[in-house]
Each structure stands twice: as C-alpha cells, then as structure tokens.
Amino acid sequence: MHRAPVVAFVAFMFATLYALVVHATPVAAPRPRLQVAALPASIKAPSPADVVAGKLDASFEPQPSTYTRNAVESERWYRLTTDLDWLDKTSPVLSFASVAYIPITVYAPPDYEPQELWFAKLEDTPRFSRHHLAVELPRHWRAGQPVYVRVAADSFTRPVKATLSDMASYQAEDLNHVRLTTMFASVQVTMILAALCLWMVLRDRVLAYFIGYASFQLVYQMLVSGEIYELPGAGLLVPLGTHAPWLFGALSAPLSISFILEFCELRQITPAAARLLGWMRWPYLVFAPLLCFPFAERVHAIASAFNLWFMLSSLWALITVTLAVSRHGRQARFFLIAWMPQVLFTFLRVTQVLAGLDLPRWLEYGFPFTMAFSSIVVTIGLADLSLRARRERDMAHHLADHDALTGVLNRRALVRRLQAAVTDARLQKAPLGLLFLDMDHFKSINDRYGHPVGDACLRAVAEAIGDELRPSDWLGRYGGEEFVVGLPGTSHDNAMAIGERIRARIETLNVHSRGSTLQTTVSLGVACLEGHADTADDLIARADAALYRAKTDGRNRIVAHAPLAAVGG
C-alpha cells in the first residue's frame, strides 16, 4: 500500500476538521458578566416558592466561577445575576454545558414560572438544538435581578458550566453545531448504507459486523449529543435516560472486536493474540444488562469496571492489530489508519474530563469527526477486501475452466462450450464448424528434448492458433497434444480456410526453448453441424475421424469429414 496518498488523505481530512471548527467558533462580543451564588448543601430541599420569593437570598454564597456542581444525594440551587444591565438588541440566552442527562429547572423574571430543561425532553417545536440546555431570558434583564436554577441530583457528580450570550450569537453557534453534527452523522450513515448494499449482494459476515458496530456507535454518539431525540421513535429511549448511551456503548464493543478479528484476518495472522481478543468480547454481554438497571447509577463499581474493561480490550486490540501490521497484514493497515485518530481523541477527551478542563471545540467535534473518518477508511478497506475476494473468485473460476499449461479452455469447459454452441446454432439455424488438431510427432519431441521443451511447444502452438481465430471463436485443449477449435457461424469452406491458415502458421513456427530451436507441424480434422439430431459428441467424433485420416495420409495436412468432402467437391 502506497504511503504518500494515505498521508495526504489523512492530512486533508484533519485540515478540513480544523477549517470547520474555526468556522464554527463564534467571535466573542462584550456582554455583562454572569455572577453565580450557590445555596449551601446543608439546606436540604428548600421550597421552590421560598427560593423564588427571595426568602433564602441571604443564604446564597458567591462562587468563584460560572461552574456549578450538582450533588450526589440531593438537588442544588443557584442564584444567577449580572453586573450590568442587558442592553443588547437581542434577548439574552442562558445555556448550560456538560449537563448530559441532569434535569435543570430555571426560574426567570418577570413571572418566575418554572422552565424544565432536560437533555431527553421531547418538544414539538424546540427553539434550540441539544448542544446545550438553553433558555431565553427577558430582553430587559436588569443588573442584580436574580435567575434561580435548580440542578437535580446526579450520582456522577460533574461541573455544569453556565454561559450567557445574546440570541443572535447563540443561534449562529447553534446552527454551526447542527451543521457539523449533521455532516458527521451523515457520513457515517452513508458508509453504513454502502456496507449494507454490499452485504445484500455478498452476504459477507465481516460486513454484518461492520454494520452492527458502526450503527451502535452512531446511536451512542447521537445519544451523547442528544440529537437522537429529534428523530421519530426516539421517545422509546427516554425512559432509559443516561442508561441508553451505556447500553449502546456496551453492545457496540463486542461487535467492534468481532469486526476487527474478521476484517484484519487476525485469526490467520496472529492466532494466539486473536484468541485472547475474541475471549474479551463476552464480558460486554454481562455489562450490557447490568448497566440498564437503576442501581447502576448508584453502584459506581459497575461503570468503573466497564470503563476499565473497555480500556484493556481496546489496548489489546490495538496491540494485536499493530502486530498484524508488522506481519504485513494489508487489512490491518487500513484499520490502524482508521482507528488511531479515534483512539487519540478518546484519550484526550478522557484526560480533559479527569483534569476538569474546559472542552475546546476542536476536541468536542474531533471525536465525532474521527468516527466519521474511521467509517470512511474502513469502508474503503471493505471495498478493497471485496475486490480481493472477487479477484480470487474470478481466478478460481478461470483455473477451473482453463488449462494450467496453455491457458486455453480445458476439456470439461470446451465440451460445455461446444454443447452451448450446438444449441445456439440450432436456434439461430446457423452453421457451426469444428477443428480437431493434433501435433505431429509430439512424443519424439518429449523423448529427444525433454518435457520442458515439449511444454514450450504446446504453449507456442496454442498461442499461434489463437492468433488466427476471431473473437467469437474459442480454443480448448482436449488432452495431451490435441486441441479443439470451435467456429460458430462458420460454413465448411470457411472452416477449411481457417484450418489451412492455422496449419501454415504452425508449419513456419520456430520454437526456442532451453537453447534449442525446433519446428513442428499439426494435422487437422474438420467437421460441421449437419442435422437437428447432431450432438456435441457426434461433432467431435466426426472431426476426430477426419483427423485420423489426416494422420494416416501423411500428417501436416487438413482433412474434412468424408460426407463434407463430398459436398464440398
């Protein structure tokens, strides 16, 4: 596999990602700063009416940043204000990032009615995408005027970032987000559909594994981004909540391993490592149902064990594929090129989460980009695998129908071709000629010069015969030094003329092999289709009888079957 085109392709794809992310990044405009105060966790489940009425305002404690932490055991309350009046031409938009499946309730002026925000909330006409949980605030929002936010309890505590922006900027950013996520998802869907079309024709198991794992990964990605809830039927996944991405992530892993084993041909190239990798699939079938139960949110050991097993199996898969590449596995190279960017961005994403850093846009969109990139490269690899299989199949068919020494049809294939030619000649009421050729004194050539020289003579004679035939004619080796030529649509006189050209061509043929130059001749018998009762066997028998006469009459000549000779005279 040529490296330069692959490197250029990978560089182009990542340059495209950079351009898309830069385009998606909005230009920041000066605006009032958001100030966050939190109600101490010691105040357990206060009444929303008391909070909104301002009775607990004195208890809110200022926070050093706009990050708000949710609690494990109980909900948390936050009081948001600005240091300046909102004077922008468009309304302010309050959005929350890194929320995932945590329900948030916003109480905003002037009426302070609760507005429920949730990742999996289904709406008839959503105002914004699910990139963040967002709500429009009053346009004339005053400095110090509070907005109260209730963040529900979540067993996996994570920081939730509150951001304030104007409506125009937020909608522009939101639109760019939708464009990017739609493009990445569309690429993956296209690759899955392409593989599905191939599977419907080939019924190859490796294609089924690719369709399965790529589909589950796509659903997982859309569950994490929330975009799947915009699709029809997605309401069925709402009751699962945060368990839904866990489930599809757990189901995609064993299919991914099965695909790697089949696609990279690991069982043939690295059998020992492949056996261990194959065994690593089965624990995922245990994790999948466990992660769906409600107690999975409280028992962190289940999620931790799943993540640990995922990391171990991914690392071992990477080692096994790399080992296959070192042993010149062609398909393993395709997969390694497709998979490495995804592994890199996964590592960076995990590092960002563990370090509590902000999620940059290049990393946010990098992971779905690498999944789309992986689908493209793997689909190219699948096409290459299908092309190789087709070539091997065609080669097998060719070897089954052709003589290994001369490359012409073998006896079984030429008899089958002759039977079809007889049937066609009857239907079209067209003539059909047949030449039966035998090399003269071929045994003496083998005895004197050896079988390699005899084989060279056979190849040279077969090539010379083929040069004198039309595209519609065909040539086969009947056995030993005997050849049969089929001449569809050829009358007796034309068959005799073609046979004479072949005889004269071979008579002047010089065969050079192993330092020797020798000449040979052929004897030919001619037969043509006569009546409706004629069969392929009858035609061969008459041509063979004419060949026998040519041999007994002195060789190096062409003789027609006796009735044909009388008609021609």
pLDDT at 569: 38
CA distance 330 to 280: 24
Contact (Cβ atoms closer than 8 angstroms) between residue 85 and residue 32: yes
Q: In this predicted structure, what is the pLDDT of residue 526?
A: 95
Q: CA torsion, points 179, 185, 190, 195, in degrees to nearest 10?
A: 170
For 113, the enclosing helix (H) or strand (E) is none
Tokens at residue 442, please? 């071929």
Question: In DSSP terms, which residues pair with 78 in a beta bridge?
Answer: 38, 149
CA dist., res. 441 & res. 202, Å (int): 50
Distance between CA 240 and CA 184 in Å, rounded? 25
pLDDT on residue 463: 93
Among 374, 491, 370, 376, smallest CA distance to 429 is for: 491
Q: Which residue's structure tokens are 């079309």? A: 197
* CA 458 – CA 463 distance, rounded (Å): 9
The fold adopted by the segment(s) 411-568 is Alpha-Beta Plaits (3.30.70)
Query: 189 by DSSP, 3-state: which?
Result: helix
- What's residue 195's pLDDT? 87
| Category of 422 on φ-ψ map: left (φ > 0), alpha (ψ -120 to 50) or beta | alpha
Structural domain boundaries in the chain = 3-22+174-390, 31-172, 411-568
- pLDDT computed for residue 154 by the predictor: 72
pLDDT tens, the chain, 569 aa long:
455 665 666 666 666 656 665 555 555 445 688 999 998 877 878 899 999 999 999 999 998 877 766 555 678 899 999 989 998 888 999 998 877 778 899 999 989 999 998 887 776 667 788 888 899 999 889 999 999 999 887 765 567 888 899 999 899 998 998 898 889 889 999 989 988 988 888 788 888 999 999 999 899 888 888 888 888 888 888 888 788 888 898 999 999 999 999 989 999 999 999 999 999 999 999 988 888 877 666 666 787 788 889 889 988 999 999 999 999 888 888 888 888 888 788 777 767 766 667 778 888 888 888 888 888 888 888 777 777 777 877 777 777 788 889 989 999 999 999 999 999 998 888 999 999 999 998 888 888 888 889 999 999 999 999 999 998 999 999 988 999 999 999 999 999 999 999 999 999 988 888 888 888 999 999 999 887 778 889 999 999 999 999 999 999 999 998 765 544 43
**Residue 384: what pLDDT?**
77
The domain defined by 3-22+174-390 folds into Rhopdopsin 7-helix transmembrane proteins (1.20.1070)
Query: Which CATH architecture group holds 31-172?
Result: Sandwich (2.60)
